[in-house]
């Protein structure tokens, strides 16, 4: 009885006729038990499951299938080989035409101890890999085999007795820090709780509201056409600190001068610290143009740029007319507020005498420009959507972002004003105001446009300042935090959560664990790191980080790799700030590209604002084109940047990946290989162009 052939003979007459005629037919079944079958003229017998006893032609068909698969594998390998050759050629060209990250310094920088340590680790790893490969191949001659085996045996005994215990102890300590950080920020507690808190805020539609009733707020801010409107609007001072930012000064000045506020109750201070005479004259011309159009705007320039941005703001607040103003709004040179910015922020101060700061959210006009801006957008979306919003609603404290915020001038004066003691003057004034009992409000639905750094060099210097400054501030503020009379839980939040865990422990273990200890454990297999530390928890952390920016989910793996790549910069900055090294007080203005335009401002504005007359865009574009075509704006010759620390770490990680192949550790191999390639792209400054491959 042959139920299979009878069934198909009844349902497929053509197939049965073909079998009777002796025509060979190949049938591929959906059922895996009927993989390859053949009907022949001799009506051969079939075994259970549809398999024939004669396997001559079946083997031939399987051979063709295997050949097709081999062809596909060869094509894949050829593509990988061509990609590797292209990457190698690009690396060779960039190294040949590149400059190291310290080549442009006016004075030769002292030799970096961190780079020397990384290079020594690389040389040691290459030597150990050669020993392991020689021992694995067992040599080619008796003398070579005996010497290699003897040295390898001695090394194994030495590392098991003297190297593995301290390395395992350091690894366990970093894992403990990893778990502590996970309990606060990375995964399980704070980050997850913050995400849940953000979800709770969205589900219940919670957002800060002015204490006054809507009717009272409407009465307090009448229409601007009212002749007596100035009597109801508070006096607001607007400050725009800038320094050699000729790419963006026009847009920021224009946006601020178009704020929907009575002109008699607002004064704009353009605080120019530029040392370039051409840039100074351009900004002066722009200020004079708006003054002639009726805007109340003044231009201030300091001859000595002492204290950087903090010194600039402190100097501006010392003007005699500042006493006539109640609030001060601060915008960096690349920020363009919407016309209703003050109307949506200043009312929160009414009838709330404890409120010292109202902070708005940033939005980015160039977030899709390249891979680097996409990854920055993920971080900053989480920062504003989760961290700032949750902290603002539940504890009324967060770090001031330095721009797109409105301060009560009394709160600034009560907290000691701007101080030049660190490179994070915004965090400094926020901590001191919090210690003096002032409360903060974050408005997630009020946005202010700006642009992200588009080059790795600009982003790296920005991150160095953002991570060295908090350590300087922690050393200076710790005695004040201990002595102040605020609640104990607020002191604990500042010391352990705000500073130690988030500013010190995170960059320390990220660099030490994933860039040093993990590669070393490949050469000292007696010390181990569990897979969940290497893969699972970091992946979950990246998933939680990317939730506020769901359109960025395709970049979750590049985001995880890039965050680990940036750990070397953040670790170096943290150490320099903690121990007051020379680079801790380095202040470099983040380079702008000038992509923020008034067209972007109109396109991204709320619908009710698009009908308003914001700016004469055509005139601005014509002036910008004339200034850009001026012969005095000659382009400087550009060089490719080569980052030595990142390149050395890429070679260290790739060497460790090769060693992991001998240990047959799959997860560790893939992590080390892709992380090494990530460091290589960053070290050769190719991350900006890698977005082309991902798109």
**Helix, strand, coil: what percent of the chain each, to 5?**
60, 10, 30
d(CA 184, CA 492): 13
Name the 3-class secondary structure at 25: strand
Q: What is the pLDDT of residues 304-357, one digit of tens each?
A: 878 889 999 999 999 999 999 999 999 999 999 999 999 999 999 998 999 999
CA–CA dist 20, 53 (Å, integer): 19
273 is catalytic: yes
Closest alpha carbon to 674 in 649, 644, 653: 653
Nearest CA among 418, 416, 385 for reference residue 402: 418
Which domains are present in the chain? 232-454 (3.90.550.10)
Structure tokens at 225: 């056409």
Which tokens is 241 given?
């600190």
d(CA 262, CA 241): 22
> Are the C-beta atoms of 641 and 530 separated by less than 8 Å?
no
pLDDT confidence of residue 387: 85
**pLDDT 10s digits, 210-255:** 655 444 454 456 555 555 555 578 999 999 999 988 889 999 999 9
Give the 3-state secondary structure of residue 690.
Answer: coil
Question: Which residues have a Cβ under 8 Å from the Cβ of 288 and sit 6 or more positions away?
Answer: 299
500: alpha, beta or left? (left if phi > 0; alpha if psi -120 to 50): alpha
pTM above threshold 0.75 = yes
Residue 87 has what pLDDT?
Answer: 66
Q: Are 307 and 290 in contact (CB under 8 A)?
A: no
What pLDDT does residue 545 have? 84
Burial 406-415 (b: 16+ CB within 10 A, else e): bbbbebbeeb
Catalytic residue at 172? no
pLDDT at residue 107, rounded to an integer: 44
User: What pLDDT, on the 0 to 100 scale, is given for residue 99?
Assistant: 64
pLDDT at 42: 46
Spot the catalytic one: 190, 332, 426, 685.
426
- DSSP one-letter string for 472-519: HHHHHHHHHHHHS-S-HHHHHIIIIIIIIIIIIIHHHHHHIIIIIIHH
Catalytic residue among 273, 332, 334, 428: 273
**Residue located via tokens 């050949």:** 67
Task: For residue 472, give Cα distances in angstroms to 117, 397, 427.
Answer: 24, 20, 11
Q: In whole angstroms, how far apart are CA 185 and each of 182, 387, 570, 651?
A: 5, 10, 17, 31
The residue ranges of the chain whose pLDDT is under 70 are 1-58, 87-88, 90-111, 138-146, 182-231, 584, 595-640, 689-695
């Amino acid at each position: 009885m042959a139920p299979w052939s009878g069934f198909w003979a009844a349902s497929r007459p053509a197939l049965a006729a073909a079998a009777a005629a002796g025509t060979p037919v190949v049938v591929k079944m959906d059922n895996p038990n009927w993989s390859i079958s053949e009907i022949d003229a001799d009506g051969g017998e079939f075994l259970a499951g549809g398999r024939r006893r004669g396997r001559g032609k079946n083997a031939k068909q399987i051979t063709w299938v295997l050949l097709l698969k081999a062809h596909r594998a060869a094509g894949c390998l050829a593509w990988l080989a061509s990609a590797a050759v292209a990457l190698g050629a690009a690396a060779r060209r960039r190294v040949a035409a590149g400059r190291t990250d310290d080549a442009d310094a006016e004075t030769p920088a002292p030799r970096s101890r961190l780079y020397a340590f990384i290079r020594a680790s690389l040389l040691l790893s290459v030597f150990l890999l050669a020993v392991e490969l020689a021992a694995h191949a067992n040599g080619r001659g008796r003398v070579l085999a005996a010497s290699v085996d003897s040295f390898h045996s001695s090394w194994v005994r030495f590392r098991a007795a003297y190297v593995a215990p301290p390395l395992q102890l350091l690894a366990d300590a970093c894992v403990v820090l990893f778990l502590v950080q996970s309990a606060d920020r990375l995964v399980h507690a704070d980050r997850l709780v913050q995400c849940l808190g953000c979800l709770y805020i969205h589900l219940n539609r919670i957002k800060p509201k002015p204490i006054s009733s809507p009717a009272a707020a409407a009465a307090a801010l009448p229409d601007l056409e009212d002749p007596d409107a100035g009597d109801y609007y508070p006096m607001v001072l607007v400050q725009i600190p800038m320094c050699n930012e000729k790419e963006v000064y026009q847009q920021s000045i224009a946006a601020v001068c178009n704020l929907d506020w009575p002109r008699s109750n607002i004064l704009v201070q353009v605080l120019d610290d530029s040392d370039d005479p051409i840039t100074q004259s351009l900004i002066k011309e722009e200020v004079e143009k708006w003054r002639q159009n009726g805007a109340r705007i003044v231009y201030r320039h300091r001859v000595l740029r002492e204290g950087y941005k903090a010194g600039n703001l402190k100097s501006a607040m010392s003007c005699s007319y500042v006493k006539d103003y109640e609030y001060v709004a601060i915008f960096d040179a690349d920020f363009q507020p919407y016309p209703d910015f003050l109307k949506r922020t200043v009312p929160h101060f009414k009838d709330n005498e404890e409120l010292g700061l109202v902070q708005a959210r940033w939005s980015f006009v160039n977030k899709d420009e390249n891979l680097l801006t996409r990854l920055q957008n993920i971080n900053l979306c989480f920062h504003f959507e989760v961290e700032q919003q949750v902290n603002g609603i539940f504890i009324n404290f967060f770090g001031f972002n330095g721009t797109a915020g409105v301060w009560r001038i009394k709160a600034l004066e009560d907290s000691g004003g701007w101080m030049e003691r660190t490179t994070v003057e915004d965090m400094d004034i926020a901590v001191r105001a919090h210690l003096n009992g002032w409360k903060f409000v974050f408005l997630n639905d009020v946005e202010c446009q700006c642009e992200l750094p588009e080059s790795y060099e600009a982003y790296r210097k920005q991150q160095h300042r953002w991570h060295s400054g908090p350590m300087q501030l922690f050393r200076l503020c710790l005695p004040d935090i201990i002595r102040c009379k605020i609640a104990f839980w607020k002191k604990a939040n500042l010391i352990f959560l705000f500073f130690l865990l988030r500013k010190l422990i995170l960059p320390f273990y990220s660099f030490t664990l994933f860039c040093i200890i993990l590669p070393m454990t490949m050469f000292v297999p007696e010390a181990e790191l569990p897979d969940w530390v290497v893969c699972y928890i970091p992946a979950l952390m990246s998933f939680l980080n990317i939730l506020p920016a769901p359109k960025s989910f395709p970049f979750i793996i590049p985001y995880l790799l890039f965050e680990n790549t940036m750990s070397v910069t953040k670790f170096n900055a943290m150490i320099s700030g903690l121990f007051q090294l020379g680079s801790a007080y380095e202040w470099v203005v983040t380079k702008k590209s000038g992509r923020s335009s008034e067209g972007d401002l109109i396109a991204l504005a709320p619908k009710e604002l698009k009908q308003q007359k914001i700016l004469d865009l055509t005139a601005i574009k014509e002036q910008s084109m004339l200034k850009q075509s001026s012969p005095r704006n000659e382009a400087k010759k550009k060089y490719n940047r080569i980052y030595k620390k990142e390149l050395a770490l890429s070679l260290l990680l790739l060497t460790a990946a090769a060693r992991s192949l001998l240990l047959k550790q799959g997860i560790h191999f893939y992590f080390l290989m892709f992380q090494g390639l990530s460091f290589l792209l960053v070290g050769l400054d190719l991350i900006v162009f890698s977005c082309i491959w991902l798109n």
